[in-house]
Amino acid sequence: MRVRNYISLFSGGMGLDIGLERAGFNCVACNEIDALAVETIKLNKPELPVIPDSVERVTLATLSQSAGFDVSGIDLLAGGPPCQAFSVFGQRRGLHDGRGRLIFEFFRLVDEVKPKAFLMENVRGLHSMPLVPKGVEADGSFLPEHTEPGSLLRELIRLFERVGYRVDCYLVNSVNYGAPQIRERLLCIGSRFDIDPDFPAPEFSNRPSDNLPPFRTLGDVIGTGFCDPDPSVMNFSQRKLKYLAMVPPGGNWRNLPVDVQKESMGKSWYLKGGRSAYWRKLSFDFPSPTVVTMPNHAGTSMCHPIDLRALTVGEMAAVQEFPSDWKFAGSPTDKCRQIGNAVPPRLGQVAGEVLQRLLQISETLAPLTGKPATSGRIVHIRPHVRTRSYFKDGEVIGGHTGYYDPRKPLAEERQLTLDIATIA
């Protein structure tokens, strides 16, 4: 496998970069504005040139100076612009949030550097985000279609195509590729060649009818025999621990008596939606839910299955599949933020292997001179995965019951599995 050079933007805790390096890429320069994340990079990769500045001030010239050579036409430019503005769990202000506008800085640098390929990672919410979100005041200078779901990503794809890139976007889930964590992400792969990146189908499943190995679980990574490299913890308050003590492994707020639910949740108890992360206690028998930045919050609880506490820094890093010797700078709160915001290295590796194949094929082809024949695909590869049932048919489900309930007749279970991932 040929080693190919690349540039990393929005590097953070370097989860994406670890994966790309496993796939044979060599980082020649990176950019990160967060001081503690920069310290993390230097702790683990002291020789790697880092530009500790806003991406808005990064140019082809500064990247070339940092790398020590002209990076024009480099093999790959990769990064995950801040995603909070697009998250379905946030306020979804998109470009009206300063962080959201940084996604167009990524485009600017692709246009300046003109890499052979790029990889842009983000939350799944980006694919449904409008250019102009609902409820945001605007000056009337936008078109009606700019308020439609997905118009932001379509506009971004249009811009990339205008400067000579074919773009294919994949909605994927890390658990489908062997990660012990359910984490939906959007991976946008662009290249100067009209080549289908051919992103792989899921390799693991919780559905027997798929005939694939079963999902890896939390117990596989932090169960018996786990040696914690960083037992520091961002723990729950005594009040929260009181309620979590009443929840069985694999359960959540629904396992509490109704009066305790109301007492502990306040106004949140009356909200719509499942709120499955509220007073959640994890289970060794299932993949971890998405690792979050604040594991000790009642509504994003990541309580250990056996010990009455939040997952430690070392356990969270293991679930994300960071190397056991990877160090994070700062307090437990700072470390959890870096880990929770990181791309799982496994997804970086899978995407990196796709890019390696694409770039190898491209060596015999001429770059695009016009619009690609296939334009702006958005491919769903079983991104939405459910493994746990907390409530079904009016009944609170026990902590170790899976989503595909074995009590149901086989024919009915097969009907449930007809949502096989579409790879269109």
68, two tokens: 């020590």
> Which residues are CB-contacts of 33 (< 8 A; sequence separation ≥ 6)?
52, 53, 54, 55
∠ CA 270-274-279, rounded to 5°: 85
179, two tokens: 């990660």
Sign of CA dihedral 105, 186, 392, 255: negative
Are the beta carbons of 185 and 176 closer than 8 angstroms? no
Helices 98-113 and 151-162, axial angle in degrees (round to 10): 20
∠ CA 361-365-366, rounded to 5°: 145
102, two tokens: 């940084």
- Helix (H) or strand (E) holding 20, with range, is helix 15-22
Q: Token match 């190397």: residue?
A: 323
∠ CA 295-33-169, rounded to 5°: 70
Region label for 186, one of left (φ > 0), alpha (ψ between -120 and 50) or beta (otherwise):
beta
Marked catalytic residue, from 83, 188, 303, 336:
83
Going by DSSP bridges, is the β-strand pair 117-122/76-79 parallel, antiparallel, or unpaired? Answer: parallel
Closest by CA to 365, choosing from 191, 198, 161, is 191
- Three-state DSSP at 134 gives coil
> Which residues are CB-contacts of 144 (< 8 A; sequence separation ≥ 6)?
none
Concerning whether 83 is annotated as a catalytic residue, the answer is yes
> Which residues are CB-contacts of 121 (< 8 A; sequence separation ≥ 6)?
16, 78, 79, 80, 185, 186, 187, 188, 343, 347, 351
Give φ, ψ of 105 to 5 degrees. Answer: -70, -35
Distance, CA of 85 to CA of 129 (rounded, Å) = 9
* Catalytically active residues, by annotation: 83
